[in-house]
Amino acid sequence: MNELPILPLDADTLAPLNGKKLLITGGARGLGEGFVRAAVARGAQVTIADIASQAGEALAAELSGAGHAVYFVRVDLSDPASVDAAGNVAAERMGGIDGLVNNGAITNSGGKLAAELSIETWDAVMNVNVRGTWLMTMAALPFLRASGQGRVVNIASDTALWGAPRLLAYTASKGAVMAMTRSLARELGPDGITVNAIAPGLVEVEATAYVPVERHRHYLEGRALPRAQVPDDVIGPVLFLLSDASRFVTGQVLPVNGGFVMP
């Protein structure tokens, strides 16, 4: 099968975010870094929240030096006190929070059968990916309410849509994030806050370098669009859900995987 070329993303086609104050977890590297760079390029203020302090501080310094309003706060999504503090610090530095991207997550269960997982691994993945997403949303909630135009975008995974094997804890956690997205959309809708999720396929980033070649081939051969998935493929949909263009879209899970899954 011939692989399609990857064309560069035209920045002019991305939704404008002028003046938006965004908190992006897991924003120091990989897919999250792509969200940060694209958001500031479209006029947003951004606070990067990540456990990787060195990478996060370096990215914030680079973008601030280029004239963007970018801040960094360290957060451990498995620690409720750290999550709460990060939300408050972000709001203080930016003067509020208009949008939250819950991108921070861990995998930890890759390559192991269900019977091989430890309780410690299961709990670690759930504490970061599920509880951390809930707690970060709650930490940002007062500021999202005050904004009058609150946007929450949860980064899920299409693994929960097709049932990826040898990845149980991660897959289950992302299924929980999808369910949480729908419940929160109903609860927060009266406050004018939208809550949506993006379910990417296998994106070519540092964090997926561990994935076996066979799994990469499985995705490539199963996509309607036969090429590798790159961060730019996910950035556009995320920026759309953060923008005013999506103001009447809520409670939705959008698979962004080149047609590998078509629910």
> What structural domains does the chain harbor?
16-256 (3.40.50.720)
Q: Which of 71, 170, 210, 219 is catalytic?
A: 170
Please give the chain's pLDDT, 263 residues, in tens: 556 666 566 655 567 899 999 999 999 999 999 999 999 999 999 999 999 999 999 999 999 999 999 999 999 999 999 999 999 999 999 999 999 999 999 999 888 999 999 999 999 999 999 999 999 999 999 999 999 999 999 999 999 999 999 999 999 999 999 999 999 999 999 999 999 999 999 988 877 777 778 888 888 899 999 888 999 999 999 999 999 999 999 999 999 999 999 98
What is the distance between the alpha carbons of residues 177 and 175, in angstroms, rounded to a whole number?
A: 5
Distances from the Cα of 82 to the Cαs of 49, 50, 91, 257, in angstroms? Answer: 10, 11, 14, 33
Is residue 170 annotated as part of the catalytic site, yes or no?
Answer: yes
**CA 200 – CA 188 distance, rounded (Å):** 24
Given a contact cutoff of 8 angstroms between Cβ atoms, the answer to whether 76 and 49 are in contact is no
Q: In whole angstroms, what is the distance from residue 184 CA to residue 153 CA?
A: 11
Q: How many CB atoms lie within 10 A of CB 170?
A: 23
The mean pLDDT of the chain is 94
Q: What are the residues facing 199 on neighbouring strands?
A: 255
| pLDDT score recorded for residue 125 | 98
- Tell me the pTM: 0.94
> What integer pLDDT is reported at residue 24 of this predicted model?
98
Nearest Cα to Cα of residue 133 among 175, 191, 190: 175
